[in-house]
A and B are shown apart, each in its own frame.
Chain A
Amino acid sequence: MSSVDWRSLSLLQVLALVLASCSLSETVEQQSKLAASTAEAAVLVTDAWLSGAAPSHYASAALQSFAGTLGDAGRQVESASSSDPAKRDALKSSLSQLSNAASRAESAVKAEQRAQAAQAVQELRAGQADLATAYRQYFAPRR
C-alpha cells in the first residue's frame, strides 16, 4: 500500500471522525497481514528464479517492489501509536528484517548469485517466523 492516495484520504477522513482509536490497531493488523502475504510472494519468486522458472529481470523487479511494500508496512507500524511500544517495535523490526531480506534477494538475482539468493530465502523464512511471533504477541489478550 503506497503512502497516500485519494481513497485512503477519504478513508482517513471518515475514520478520523468515527474510529479514531480503532483505526490504528487496524493499520497494524492490515499491514502485518499484507507483509506476511508479500513475504511469501518474495519466497515464491526467489524459489522460482532459483529453479529457472522466472527470468531474472522479472524476479528482480518483483523483489524490489515487494521489498518496498515490506519497508512501507514497517514504517506504518512504527508510526502507529501503541499502548505497548516494546511489542510494536518487535513487530516493526521483523518487518524491516523481511524488507532487507527481500532487498538482498533482489541484489542476488541481479548479480546472478544463486548461493546468496538461497541465503536470502532462508532469511525471508526466518523473518516470516519472527513476524508471526511478534504478531501473536502484539494481539495477545492482555492480562
Chain B
Amino acid sequence: MQLLRDILDKQVVDREQVKVGKVDGLVAELRQGKPPRVVAVELGSIALARRCGARPGRWAAWLVARLSGKRQARPHRIAWNKVRDIGVDIEFDIDVRRTKIFAWQNWLRDHVVDRIPGA
C-alpha cells in the first residue's frame, strides 16, 4: 500500500460513521532494515499547517495554545491499530465524542448555535 497516496487526505469516520476529519498527517516509525511503519494518523489545524511548512506549523500551534490552552497545542492523534476499514472513508474504532477533536464544534454549538432560535 502506498501510504501517501492511499491514506493521506482521506476522510476519517468513527465507528458510528460520524465524519471526524481528514487524515491531515501521518506518524511513522522508522525501523532499521525494514520499511517504516505507520503508528498513527494526525488530524487538525496544526497537522495541516505543518504540511505547508515548519513556520506555519509553529504559528498554528501558537494560535491554538492561545485560544484553547497549552494542552491542545498538539495535533489530534488516532492510533493506527484502531483502523477498522479502508474504503471510500477510513473507519477507526473510536467514538469521536470521547476525543477532543470536536471540542471547537461543541463550543460553537453550546455558545453560538444553541442560542439562535430554531436550531
A and B touch in the complex (CB under 8 A): no
Interface residues of B (CB under 8 A from A): none
A-side interface residues toward B, CB under 8 Å? Answer: none
